Amino acid sequence: MSEFEHDRAQRATLEASGIAMDYGHRRVIERLDLRLPEGKVTAIVGPNGCGKSTLLAGLARLHAPSAGVILLDGEPIYSLAPRDVARRLALLPQEANAPDGLTVLELVQFGRQPHQGWLRQWSEEDQRVLDAAIRAADLVELADRPLESMSGGQRQRAWLAMAIAQTTPLLLLDEPTSALDLGHQIEVFELIRSLSEEGGKTVVMVVHDLVSACRYADHLVAMLDGRIVAEGTPTEVVTPELVRELYGIDCRLVIDPLSNSPILTEIRRCRS
């Protein structure tokens, strides 16, 4: 039995078709189509302000598109009940903040809320899932520690454990490693990988760093000015031309012989 409680047979598809999204009067995303590959890790990359976080918010039922439709298992996600969505799709927003004194265990318990109700309080099943989520995120020794006393990487693993406890086939992450140093970044990315590989989850993450995205994602979605400019496996997609288009830098690409993913070298700003 895997540590990951998500039932492999349970699948959920998430797709956006012809969506446009606005912030106030400003159009952030224009006519975008996206279908997320099931059971894979998808990374959305692009320069600041390209609309990647907005797209994620749209997919997570946080920000309704002004045109087009987002489908969860073929149903328009914005006409589903929030709790119904929360049983199929877990979300980790950027800069999630917990009140002082909250312990890891208490945080992870929140992941069970979509499965509870007036009459259905904490059950043995909840406890089993909770224990498994804490084991999966390697937090057994830290379970009773308050979050503010832990390192950034540990804290982020605790938030991920909450999402794991939600036992959803889909997991959406907004810059899960943004405030972390390199060691902690890898600690978090490796957990995300294992959620997909061993847990069978479909993961979508907005990632700032292109190299990490290549290293840890199966599928790359490159965005610029509210559009998808390239999509596919990292080795297919990432070219010096794309890097120049996205970030305005010149570089050379080499393939890392161990991970088989592209690495950028000789980076410098475009002269043109």
Chain positions contacting another protein, by CB under 8 A:
60-62, 81-87, 89-93, 96-103, 105-107, 109-111, 113-114, 116, 118, 131, 134, 140, 143-144, 166
From the CB of 234, what's the least distance to another protein, in Å?
27
Question: Rounded CA gap, 202 and 132, in Å?
Answer: 19
Q: Are 46 and 203 in contact (CB under 8 A)?
A: no
In one letter, which amino acid is 14? L
Selection from 53, 72, 63, 60 nearest residue 15 by Cα: 72
Look up residue 202 and give its two tokens: 């479909």
Least Å distance, CB 96 to another protein, is: 5
Nearer to another protein by Cβ, of 91 and 210: the residue is 91
The pair of three-digit structure tokens given for residue 15, joined into one six-digit string: 């797709």
25 Cβ contact list (under 8 Å, min separation 6): none
Which CB sits closer to another protein, 62 or 249? Answer: 62
CA 217/CA 231 separation, integer angstroms: 12
User: Nearest distance from residue 192's CB to another protein, in Å?
Assistant: 16
DSSP conformation letters of 56-100: HHHHTTSS--SEEEEEETTEEGGGS-HHHHHTTEEEE-TT----T
User: Cβ closer to another protein: 131 or 231?
Assistant: 131
Q: Min. distance of Cβ 85 from another protein in angstroms?
A: 7
Residue closer to another protein by CB (options 102, 229) is 102
Paired with 253 in beta bridges are 264
| Burial grade of 144 (CB within 10 A; 0-12, 13-18, 19 or more) | exposed
Look up residue 5 and give its DSSP letter. Answer: -
Nearest to 261 by CA among 231, 233, 235, 230: 235
Instruction: Tell me whether residue 157 or residue 215 sits nearer to another protein (CB atom).
Output: 157
Three-state SS across 143-164? CCCEHHHCCHHHHHHHHHHHHH
* Smallest separation, CB 139 to another protein (Å): 8
We find the least distance from the C-beta atom of residue 114 to another protein, in angstroms, to be 4
* Closer residue to another protein (CB): 15 or 131: 131
Q: Please identify, using beta-carbon distances, which residue of 61 and 215 lies nearer to another protein.
A: 61
Least Cβ distance, residue 215 to another protein (angstroms): 26
| Residue (of 73, 59, 71) closest to 171 by Cα position | 59
Q: Which is nearer to another protein, 83 or 252 (CB)?
A: 83
* Ramachandran bin of 167, using left for φ above 0, alpha for ψ from -120 to 50, beta for the remaining angles: left
Distance of closest approach, residue 40 Cβ to another protein, in angstroms: 21
